[in-house]
Amino acid sequence: MKTVNEIRAIHDLPFPELIYRAATAHRENWDPTDIQFCTLDSIKTGACPEDCAYCPQSARYNTGLKIEPLKDVKSVLEGAAAAKGNGSTRYCMGAAWREVKDDKNFDAVLEMVRGVSDMGMEVCVTLGMLNAPQAKRLKAAGCKVYNHNIDSSKDFYETIISTRKFDERLETIQAVREANLEVCCGGIIGMGETIDHRVHFLHELTEMEPAPESIPINHLVPVEGTPLADIPPVPPLEFIRMIATARILFPKSRIRLSAGRTAMSDEMQALAFFAGANSLFTGDKLLTTPNPGESHDHRLLEALGMRIEGAAV
Ligand code: SAM
Ligand code: DTB
Ligand code: SF4
């Protein structure tokens, strides 16, 4: 287990040393030419009671978002079939809920999970807080992974969200583990946090036993109407340092280059791959904000001589 100071020392390494170490850890555990393509589907959009300062889906902020109730099972399964056709091997369904309730909506989500899993794709869901029995029902329906981010260090987290505690995030992650689901847990860079906050965020992840199987590193997508709308972007090299440090700390986890790619150059994304990122969300849209789109991602991988993981050769 590394201390906060040891993690800071890795983060601050001279850039060539940092990237070399990250790329070495990457190729010892993964095929560095492969990138996993995942598709996101917002199955319930907006009107969320939480006040997460970055989030366009919070009911507290006027972001002009079109609110949509839970989608019907059939349309979700059609979306999943199309994503599979475009090379995605993981389908991730997200709902703007504070928490899962034991109601007919959860029954419908379980049906979606069953349907997508029957198509042979890995199923991931992110539905807010949940308890161990609910996590077990997801697992029984064929869900593989639950996404629940800690988003930042405990200190910083509590300045961006007031409607729940950091420790409640950890409790949900515990319930997910108890159900033998894989954990997908990461955070957002660029909310105005310091480098020390970022290092504490990574340290918090290292305290999870076992480590999350998947770690999404999101770059804040600043959305008009949210309190974080005017935060300036993180310098690209600072963002790459986070990817590389995460790869060194978690050599066997997937490091997912998540939100914020539309504002990144191809060169920056390539550098993120060399620093160890090996998964991304493909498609024109994340949950509610834009994403580069299939054709862009196919061209980028082709230009780099890289491949979609699991795609027919
Ligand atoms: N409501 C559930 C929750 O909070 O866990 C699931 C959906 S929530 C949208 C999933 C994650 O999306 C958040 O934890 C955050 O990391 C990310 N996210 C939301 N808005 C974002 C933004 N504007 N930029 C970057 N990431 C964002
Ligand atoms: C994660 O860490 N990033 C994804 C996924 N998990 C669910 C969501 C990003 C959302 C970005 C803002 C939006 O599109 O609403
Ligand atoms: Fe709701 Fe999740 Fe957005 Fe927070 S991040 S406002 S909990 S949808």
pLDDT tens digit string along 246-265?
Answer: 999 999 999 999 999 999 99
Determine if ligand 3 sits within 6 Å of the CB of residue 124.
no
Per-residue pLDDT tens for 126-147?
999 999 999 999 999 999 999 9
pLDDT for 293 equals 85
pLDDT at position 311 over 80: no
**What ligand is nearest to the CA atom of residue 65?**
2
pTM: predicted TM-score of the whole model, two decimal places: 0.93
Model pLDDT for residues 26-36, shown as the tens digit of each residue: 999 999 999 99
Average pLDDT of 108-112? 95
Tokens encoding 102 = 């034991």
Do residues 183 and 145 touch, judged by C-beta distance below 8 A? yes
Domain extents in the chain: 4-308
Q: How confident is the model at residue 193 (pLDDT cuts 50, 70, 90)?
A: very high
Q: Is residue 58's pLDDT more than 60? A: yes
pLDDT exceeding 70 applies to what percent of the chain? 99
Atom of ligand 1 nearest to the CA of 287: 9
pLDDT at position 294: 82
Between 97 and 311, the higher pLDDT residue? 97
The bridge status of strand 214-219 relative to strand 254-257 is parallel
If you search the block for the tokens 């997908």, which residue do you land on? 184
Question: Which atom number of ligand 2 is nearest to the Cα of residue 186?
Answer: 2
Strands 254-257 vs 34-44: parallel, antiparallel or unpaired: unpaired
| CATH number for region 4-308 | 3.20.20.70
Question: What's the confidence (pLDDT) of residue 88?
Answer: 79
pLDDT at residue 312 in the model: 58
- The alpha carbon of 121 and the centre of ligand 2 are apart by a number of angstroms equal to 19
**Centroid of ligand 1 to alpha carbon of 29 (angstroms):** 28
Active site residue 92: yes
Ligand 1 center–CA 55 separation, angstroms: 6
